[in-house]
Amino acid sequence: MVTHLLIITPLLCIVHLSHQVCVDVPSETEAVLGKSMKLTCIDCRKREEVKAKTLVEWSFMPDGSRNTTHIFKYEYDTPIRLDSAFERRICWNGSQDLQDLSIWIENVTYSDSGFYQCTVKRDFQFGYFRHNITNIKNITLTVIEKASGDPTALYSEIMMYVLLVFLTFWLLVEMVYCYRKISKSDEQAQDTATNYLAVPSEQKDTTAAPVTE
C-alpha cells in the first residue's frame, strides 16, 4: 500500500482549543452520512507530564477488514495526513496543551465505518532520567443515513413535564390548605363575636376589671 505524507499548512483545518480543566470524555460512536464527525481523544496530563514531548498517532481498520492503516499523526507541533483515502477530509482538532487530541472527519462516507485507535506517547525527562508513557483510546464508529433521536433529550423533556405537573398539583394543594385555614379563622372570629353579643349586659359589667384610684 502506498502511503502519502501530506503536511497540513498552519492555516488549513487546524482548530486550537484552550482547556483550563481536563475532563476525559468518551467519543461519539455514530456519524451521519455526509456530515462532519469529531473523533474525541482526551488524554489528561499529570503534573510531571506538563513539559513532555507529545506524539499522537491515529490508525483505522475498516469494517470487514483486518488491515490497520495509519491515517494521521501529530508530531513536533505539526499535523500530518498519512492516508490518501481520507484526502483532505481529515483535520486536526486538538488543544494547545495537547490534552485534547481529537480529529475531525469531513463529509463522512459509509467506508469510514470501522475501528479507530488514538495512540498518545509522551516523552519527558528529569535531568538524566527519561521516561515514556503510552496511552491508547479505542473508538468503534458506525455511519448511519440519518441522525437517530437523542434518548437523553427525550428523557429530559419527559422529566420537565412531570416536574411541571407536580409543581402545579403542589400549588393547588397549598392554595386549598390556605383557603381552608383562612375560612376557619374567619368562622372562629365570627363565633367569638356572636357569643360576646349574646352575653347579657349585666354579666359584661361584672366581668369588667375594677378600676382603682
Q: Residue 184: in which H helix or E strand, if any?
A: helix 151-198
Burial class (CB in 10 A: 0-12, 13-18, 19+), 115: middle
In this structure, the number of other CB atoms found within 10 A of the CB of residue 97 comes to: 16
pLDDT in tens, 10-41: 434 544 444 457 888 899 999 999 999 999 99
Residue 186: strand, helix, or coil: helix
Backbone angles phi, psi at 57, to 5 degrees: -130, 130
pLDDT of residue 2: 43
All three cell numbers of 180: 381552608
pLDDT of residue 8: 46
pLDDT band with cut points at 50, 70 and 90 for residue 195: low
DSSP 103-152: EEE-S--GGG-EEEEEEEEEEEEETTEEEEEEEEEEEEEEEESSPPP-HH
- pTM value? 0.61
CA distance 185 to 168: 26
pLDDT in tens, 126-161: 777 888 899 999 999 999 988 766 666 667 778 888
Is pLDDT at 209 greater than 60 in this prediction?
no
pLDDT band with cut points at 50, 70 and 90 for residue 207: low
Can you list the positions of beta strands (E) in the chain?
6-7, 30-32, 37-39, 53-62, 69-75, 78-81, 90-92, 103-105, 114-126, 129-144
pLDDT in tens, 65-96: 989 999 999 998 899 998 888 888 999 999 98
